[in-house]
Structure 1
Amino acid sequence: MSNRSPFIPPSDPSGHGGPVNPLPPVVVALALLLAGIELYFQAGSYGLLGQNGIGARVNAIQDFGFFDTVFEAMRLQGQWPLSHVMRFFTYAFVGGAMTQTVFVIVFLLALGNMVGRHFGQIAVVAIFAISTVAGSLAYGFLVNSEYPLIGGYPGVYGLIGGYTFMLYVGLGQLHQNQMRAFSLIGMLMGIQLLFGVIFGGTADWVADLAGFTAGLITATLMVPGAFRRILERIRKR
């Protein structure tokens, strides 16, 4: 019988290799939805959808992207129409470019597969949705920008948070350095900040970091007693 921790993915060097499992259907469905929307934008940009399709991406950003100005207006007026409230989530399905969508899909397939196999398909949807909303809330409260928040990175970073929790617990069970679990998010944040300094950019990293945090917390709450044990360990330190 294998002594590998159930929280260490087979691809992790700390575990043992295993057969490739099929992707959870919900992960495939999310990836196909993102791919389908992007193909629609691409078809429109090449004029395959007629005159109205040329500005399909711009129109979608206007209709479904998350704008801080819209958020602030709703807060000041105390009115929350559904057409704007849905932006807290729908922005995730409107990519700014094909490359962004491709990277989101790649991360979604890889991380969604790992998280789904350990927590279940409902957990994947919950983590992605909660992290997406957390990202837009953080962007709305902490960022003052005219640029809209678009793309699925906050939701994907939430899955990174779930994966990080899996590694954290698994490394602890193997009596190894648990801080290694945060190496992926540290590397990604470092690259993102470096690119921001060199090439400039928006404050999307705020939404991404919020998504990661939300995913980490959500995954923790899905394991009975895990959150309490982590708090006890922190107090002992």
Structure 2
Amino acid sequence: MQDPNISPVNPLPPTVSALFLAIMAVEALFTLGANGLLGGAQAVGWRVGAIQDYGFSSDIFRWMLDQGRYPPEHALRFVTYPFVHGSFTHALFVGVMLLALGKFVGEVLSQWATLAVFVIGTLAGALVHGVLIVAQPWLLGGFPGVYALIGAFTYLLYVRLVSSGSNGARAFVLIGFLLGIKLVFGLLFGADATWLADLVGFGAGFAATIVLVPGGWARLRARLRHD
């Protein structure tokens, strides 16, 4: 007999909910401050100040590499930049995609593995952005981590399709569509260098899921031994 206490809606992984609430809480402070509803006159500059203090900058990253110094306040930018967005719309899109993809991925991976995918994509995206991007040094927002969840989603869907005898290439439709949208917007409104961090986040999430999926490390080790 089915348990009547079971919720008809699968709950979100707590880590995904926590990430979403953190992103939207920070954005709420910026938005309320910018509209004069919180913090007084100085609150108008909260977003700009947060970008300068917590956003990821490839200029600062290169300075750290050149000097061989990694002050904590700058090293922390690797994990603080996903919580600082350029606008309410930016944060909202990140939040919605985080909930949707986090729910799907969290149904297969553990909540900590789901969080690990997001963090790995966030770190990898910032690292490559810092090394390669000069003209647009600032990297803001949670899209690299969200794209890592898209990578996890793609791998899980790929495995499901191949296991059922279907064409595994269909798993890559979502990332192809999103990159196509970015290309169109880039052509219409100017190129945005953050696409590289998003793409790296996707690849990092895809690769991490191969290991983080239940039994994934054992399968990978067995395959390496066989090869």
Determine if the TM-score, normalized by the shorter chain, exceeds 0.5.
yes
The match for 1:50 is: 40
> Over aligned residue pairs, what C-alpha RMSD do you find?
1.8
- Among residues 167, 170, 175, which one is paired with 1:185 in the alignment? 175
Pick one of 212, 220, 224 that aligns with 2:217: 224
Q: What is the number of residues matched between the two proteins?
A: 216
1:7 aligned residue: none
Q: How far has the Cα of 1:231 moved from its partner?
A: 7.5
Q: Which runs of 4+ in 1 moved over 2 A?
A: 224-232
Once the two structures are TM-superposed, the CA of residue 55 in structure 1 deviates from its matched residue by 0.5
Structure 1 pair 87–129 and aligned structure 2 pair: CA distance change class (3 A) = same
Unaligned runs of 5+ in 2: 1-7
How do 1:155-234 and structure 2 match up within 5 A?
Answer: 155-222=145-212, 223-227=216-220
Q: Which runs of 5+ in 1 are unaligned?
A: 1-18
Q: Render the CA deviation track for 1:73-112: whole Å, top value 9, x for unaligned.
A: 1111111111101111211000111111101011110100
The alpha-carbon deviation at position 194 of structure 1 amounts to 1.5
State which drifts further: 105-114 or 138-147: 138-147
Separation of aligned partners in 2, 1:98 and 1:84: 25
**In the alignment, is residue 32 of structure 1 matched against residue 21 of structure 2?**
yes
1:77 counterpart = 2:70: no
Q: How far is 1:229 from its partner?
A: 7.5
TM-score by length of structure 2 reads 0.90
In structure 2, what is the equivalent of residue 3 of structure 1?
Answer: none
Aligned-residue sequence identity (percent) comes to: 47
Is this contact kept in 1: 2:151–2:206, CA < 8 A?
Answer: yes
Distance 1:210 1:72, change over 3 A: same
SS of the residue aligned with 1:54? helix
Give the structure-1-normalised TM-score: 0.86
Q: 1:199-235 CA deviation, whole Å, 9 max, x = no partner?
A: 1032000000000011001101121344467889xx9
Equivalents in 2 of 1:33, 1:54: separation in Å? 20
1:145 deviation in Å?
A: 2.3
Asked if the contact 2:158/2:168 (under 8 Å) is kept, the reply is yes
